[in-house]
């Protein structure tokens, strides 16, 4: 589904190279995890895949379902099913979560040539998904992420993912700032979305999220590239041994 080949990325305007020849292939229906120390380029990878401005791709390619992903605008990528659960979800003052989500969903549908969802259809869909994530209806009426706790923000990200039903979801440090109960709810939400035609890339610093979301593959990222790949057991090994062993291979 997603094939990243030898990707080199630096900050636009002549910054230092962050991704240094990263390659990664994620087949349809699989959940892959990327682990690694801070500052190794995990979030840059997430941002580049979602199309954030401010990066310069110096070489390499990203092929998404046979298409050049890097040639698309962020909103085109979103309509084609790319979803990023933000590490730090942004506050949108004055725009109720429900309003935001409906605008987003219908913008995507319009771009895909689909009819917009009517208000009742939309409400039904959101309520159903919100219940699963234990999100109270009154939270949906509040301006998106404004005054939300860390856990509420992350649950709201997963709700958006559930409603938008992406083909390829990137979860950037979705576990950070979550207590164990919130972590379980979020993991449950993510697991409910696992499907044969949907892939996910879970970016995390710690093993604990992977106790609840069992990945098909685990990759260790260091120094701007993937330095080791393995099965779920690799995550546990990392938790025990730390990232020190990979610091050298990155250098």
Partner 1 sequence: MDGAKDSIDRSTLAAARALEADKYKYGFTTDVEQEFAPKGLNEDVIRFISAKKGEPQWLLDWRLAAYKRWLTMEEPAWAMVHYPKIDYQDMYYFAAPKKEGSGPKSLDEIDPDILATYDKLGIPLKEQEVLLGVEGAPKVAVDAVFDSVSVATTFREELARSGVIFSSFSEAVKEHPDLVRQYLGSVVPPTDNYFATLNSAVFSDGTFVYIPKGVRCPMELSTYFRMNAQSTGQFERTLIIADEGAYVSYLEGCTAPMRDENQLHAAVVELVALDDAEIKYSTVQNWWPGDENGQGGVYNFVTKRGDCRGARSHISWTQVETGSAITWKYPSCILRGDDSQGEFYSVAITNGAQQADTGTKMIHLGKNTRSRIISKGISAGRSNNTYRGLVSVHKKAKGARNFTQCDSLLVGGQCGAHTVPYVEVKTPDAQLEHEATTTKLSEEQLFYCRQRGLDAEEATALLVNGFARDVLQNLPMEFAVEAQALVKVSLEGSVG
The least CB distance from residue 15 to partner 1, in Å, is 7
Chain CA centroid to CA 152, Å: 17
Of 203, 225, 197, the closest CA to residue 215 belongs to: 203
Closest to partner 1 by CB, 148 vs 246, is 148
Closest to partner 1 by CB, 109 vs 208, is 109
The least CB distance from residue 103 to partner 1, in Å, is 6
Tokens of 187: 């993991």
The least CB distance from residue 181 to partner 1, in Å, is 26
Length of the chain: 251
Closest to partner 1 by CB, 12 vs 192, is 12
The residues binding partner 1 (CB under 8 A) are: 11-13, 15, 50-54, 73-75, 77-79, 83-84, 86, 89-95, 100-101, 103-105, 107-108, 111, 143, 160, 164
Closest to partner 1 by CB, 123 vs 164, is 164
Q: How many helices (H) and strands (E) does the chain have?
A: 9, 10
Distance CA 123, CA 121 (A): 6
Question: Sheet containing 168-172: which strands, arranged edge to edge?
Answer: 82-85, 168-172, 199-204, 31-35, 217-222, 225-230
Closest to partner 1 by CB, 75 vs 181, is 75
The least CB distance from residue 45 to partner 1, in Å, is 15
Helices (H), the chain: 42-50, 74-79, 97-111, 119-132, 137-141, 150-164, 180-192, 233-241, 244-250
The least CB distance from residue 82 to partner 1, in Å, is 8
């Amino acid at each position: 589904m997603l094939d990243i080949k030898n990707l080199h990325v630096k900050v636009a305007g002549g910054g230092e190279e962050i991704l240094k020849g990263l390659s990664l292939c994620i087949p349809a229906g699989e959940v892959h995890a990327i682990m690694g120390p801070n500052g190794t380029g995990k979030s840059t990878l997430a941002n580049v895949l979602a199309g954030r401005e401010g990066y310069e791709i110096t070489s390499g390619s990203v092929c998404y379902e046979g298409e050049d992903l890097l040639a698309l605008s962020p909103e085109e990528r979103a309509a084609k099913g790319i979803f990023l659960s933000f590490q730090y979800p942004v506050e949108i003052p004055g725009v109720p979560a429900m309003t935001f989500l409906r605008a987003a969903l219908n913008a995507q549908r319009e771009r895909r040539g689909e009819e917009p969802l009517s208000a009742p259809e939309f409400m039904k869909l959101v309520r159903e998904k919100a219940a699963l994530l234990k999100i109270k209806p009154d939270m949906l009426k509040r301006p998106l992420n404004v005054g939300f706790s860390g856990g509420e923000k992350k649950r709201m990200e997963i709700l958006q993912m559930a409603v938008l039903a992406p083909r390829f979801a990137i979860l950037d440090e979705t576990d950070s700032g979550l207590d164990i109960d919130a972590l379980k709810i979020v993991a449950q939400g993510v697991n409910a979305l696992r499907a044969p035609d949907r892939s996910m890339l879970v970016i995390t610093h710690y093993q604990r999220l992977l106790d609840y979301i069992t990945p098909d593959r685990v990759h260790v990222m260091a120094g701007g590239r993937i330095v080791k790949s393995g099965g779920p057991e690799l995550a546990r090994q990392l938790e025990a041994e730390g990232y020190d062993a990979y610091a050298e291979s990155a250098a």
